[in-house]
Structure 1
Amino acid sequence: MAIAAAAAGHLGELPVMVALAIVTPPLVVTDVREHRLPNPLVAFAALGLLLAYCLDWLLTGSLDPGAIIIGMLVGAALLLCSVLGGLGMGDVKLGAVLASAAALVHPSLAGVLVFLAILFGGLQSIIVLVWTRDRRRSIALGPALLAGYWLPVAWLAAAHWV
C-alpha cells in the first residue's frame, strides 16, 4: 500500500501509511477480543502522522493546516460521542489520527472515512443486535474506523496504478 502511495505521488504520507499498516492488525485483534485500543499502538500511528507532516513540510516547503484541523474536528466530534456514552477514548484518539492521515492524502478522504466508519459500525451493530438480541452488548469500532481509512486509500492508490 505504501509503495503504491509513493508511486502515486503521495511520498509525504508514506510514514503514516507505514505506521498504520504496522499497527492495523494488532489494533483490530485487540479491539475485537478486548474492546480496547492500546495507547502504545495508537501513539505509534500518531508518531507516523507527525513524521508524515514533517516529511510533507520538507518536500513542499509549507505545512497545510487543513489536515490538522480536520483531524481536530473529527476528534472533537468523537470526543462528544464519548462523553455522551457511545465511544471509548481509544476510538476517539484513533479516529482523530485516521481522519488527519486521510485528509493529508486528500481532504475529501476524511469525509469518506467518517461515512464508512459510521456505515460499517452501524452494520456491525445491526448484526450483533440480530445475532445476540442483546441491546447492551458493545461493538469494537476500531476495525470500522480502520476499514474506513484503508478502503478509500487503497481505492485512490489503485486508481493511480491504472
Structure 2
Amino acid sequence: MGEKSRSTAGGGRVAGGCESGDRASGGRARSVGRAGSRLVPTGATLGAALALGLLAVVRWGPGPPVVLACGYVAAVTLPLCVADLRERRLPNVLVLPGFVFAATGVVGRALARGSPPLAEVVLCSAVVATFAVVAASEGMGMGDVKLAGMLALAATSAGLGAERIAAAAGVAFLGAGVVALGVLHTGGREVPLGPFLLLGFWAAVGVR
C-alpha cells in the first residue's frame, strides 16, 4: 500500500486530519496502493509519459541511463499526481520500481565512465536523510521521502548534479508552500507534496 503524503505546511494538525480522511475513504484509499494507475485513463498516462520522456531525451540525450530512469518517472508522473491529490497516497507499486530503473541507469553511467558511482550514492543518501528528518517531525509522509529518494536517484542517472537536485527540491517546497498558504487561508488543512516533487524534478530536467 502507498505511504501518506503531505506538505510541510500544517504540522501535526495536518497529520490528524489525514488520519481521519484515511478512515473515511476506507477501501478506496487502500485500493490505490494496489492499482494506482487505474485512477487516470490509459491514454492520458501514455500522452504525459511520451511528452515528459521526450523532454528528457531532447535535453539530456537518448542514452540508456536517461531512457531508463527518466522514462520510468515519465510513465508514473501523472498516476502519482492524481493518486496523491485524490487519496493523499503515493502508492509503493508506482514508486519502488523506480529505484530499480534509476539504479540500473546509475550503474550503467558508472560503467561507461569507468568509476564507481560514489558521488551518486552520497548525493541520494543525503536527499533521503534530509527528507527523513523532516518526516520524523511530521512535516511530511514517508511516501514523500521514498519519492524524493527515487527522483534523486533518477536525476543522477540522467546526469544531473547536486545543484540541480537542490534546485528541484527548492521548486517543490516553494510551490507547495505557496499553495499551502492559500489552502490554509481558505480553511483547508492539507496540501500533498508529491506533485510538487515531480514538478521540481521535471523543472530540473527541462530547464537549461
TM-score range relative to shorter protein: 0.7 to 0.9
Between the two structures, name the one with larger relative contact order (CA 8 Å, sep ≥ 6): 2
Please, which runs of 5 or more residues in structure 1 have no aligned partner?
A: 157-162
Candidates 192, 195, 200, aligned match of 1:140: 192
3-state SS of paired residue (1:87): coil
Candidates 84, 94, 109, aligned match of 2:137: 84
* Residues 13, 56 of structure 1: 8 Å contact kept: no
User: Post-superposition shift, 1:10?
Assistant: 5.5
TM-score by length of 2: 0.67
Question: Aligned partners of 1:19 and 1:109: how far apart in 2?
Answer: 19
Question: What's the counterpart of residue 106 of structure 2?
Answer: 53
**1:124 correspondence with 2:186:** no
**1:95 correspondence with 2:170:** no
* Residues 100, 110 of structure 1: 8 Å contact kept: no
Question: Aligned partners of 1:5 and 1:61: how far apart in 2?
Answer: 24
Question: Aligned partners of 2:120 and 2:182: how far apart in 1?
Answer: 33
**Where do 4+ consecutive residues of structure 1 move more than 3 Å?**
none
**1:20 correspondence with 2:73:** yes
Number of equivalent positions = 152
Letter matched to residue 81 of structure 2: V
Candidates 160, 163, 169, aligned match of 1:114: 169
3-state SS of paired residue (2:90): coil
Candidates 53, 59, 73, aligned match of 2:126: 73
Question: Aligned partners of 2:60 and 2:184: how far apart in 1?
Answer: 41
Question: What's the counterpart of residue 82 of structure 2?
Answer: 29
Letter matched to residue 119 of structure 1: L
Encode CA deviations 1:106-128: one digit per residue, 9 max, x unaligned: 21211111111111110121121
* Residues 106, 156 of structure 2: 8 Å contact kept: no
User: Post-superposition shift, 1:50?
Assistant: 1.3
Structural RMSD (CA)? 1.7
Question: Aligned partners of 2:63 and 2:199: how far apart in 1?
Answer: 20
Question: What's the counterpart of residue 152 of structure 1?
Answer: 204
Identity of aligned residues (%): 32
Question: Aligned partners of 2:200 and 2:156: how far apart in 1?
Answer: 13
3-state SS of paired residue (1:140): coil
Question: Aligned partners of 2:77 and 2:187: how far apart in 1?
Answer: 29
* Residues 56, 205 of structure 2: 8 Å contact kept: no
Please, which runs of 5 or more residues in structure 2 have no aligned partner?
A: 1-54
Question: Aligned partners of 2:73 and 2:106: how far apart in 1?
Answer: 15
Letter matched to residue 44 of structure 1: P
